[in-house]
Amino acid sequence: MLRILMVSCILLSAGHAGAQEQDVLKRLMNEPVTLFDWGIAQLDKDIKRAAQRTIPKYVGDPVTGSFYDWRSNRVTLFVSVPVPKESRTPAACAMTFQDVVGDLTRNTPKGPSAAGWYLLNAFKPKAHFWTDRFEDVGAKLLDVVTLEITFIPATYEAFEGKQQRVRCMGRLDASYEELTVEVTS
């Protein structure tokens, strides 16, 4: 009798664990995904691919991603890559910035609105027809999405003392002259 009771308890608890797992999956399936969530996920994927295609292999692989800063209400795409000292210049950073933007917008119509068109499509689900409801979304996203490229010293260089870090940032449609470039040690 005791064995039957123990076996029954084990089977019931195993069945309950499976039901809990099913409930977690169902709960996740029922959570709404916003267009903002979709866009951030697309930006993460796109910036990683763009960095891998455009940044030469210096010392290590680039670290990429995107994040939303709720205090400033801005989205930042970032690429951080270890670069040898002699290649860590503001001009090289700005050129890399332009290369990454060029890769992000490579499948867009060419022209001054290419970056806005890219952002509009990053935040738009595929096979979703928006008509003119969100006509100005691309232009508005250009005002709140920033790309930041950072050249950092390699780990082995960091132990040698003061090492400069070069960071350039700006809108996706920024010209070379409009970029903000910082050199810090």
Does the pLDDT value for residue 118 go beyond 50? yes
Pairwise CA distance, residues 81 & 117, whole Å: 27
Range ranked top by mean pLDDT from 78-87, 141-150, 161-170: 141-150
Residues 126, 160 within the same domain: yes
pTM of the model: 0.78
**Poorest-pLDDT segment among 7-16, 113-122, 131-140:** 7-16
Q: Which residues contact 4 (CB under 8 A, 6 or more apart)?
A: none
Pairwise CA distance, residues 132 & 14, whole Å: 52
Does the pLDDT value for residue 12 go beyond 60? no
Q: How confident is the model at residue 5 (pLDDT cuts 50, 70, 90)?
A: very low
Residues 26, 39 within the same domain: no
**Poorest-pLDDT segment among 30-44, 88-102, 170-184:** 30-44
Domain, as residue range, for 15? 1-31
Residues 87, 161 within the same domain: yes
b/e map of 118-145 (b: 16 or more CB within 10 Å)?
bbbbbbbeeeeeeeeeeeebbeebbeeb
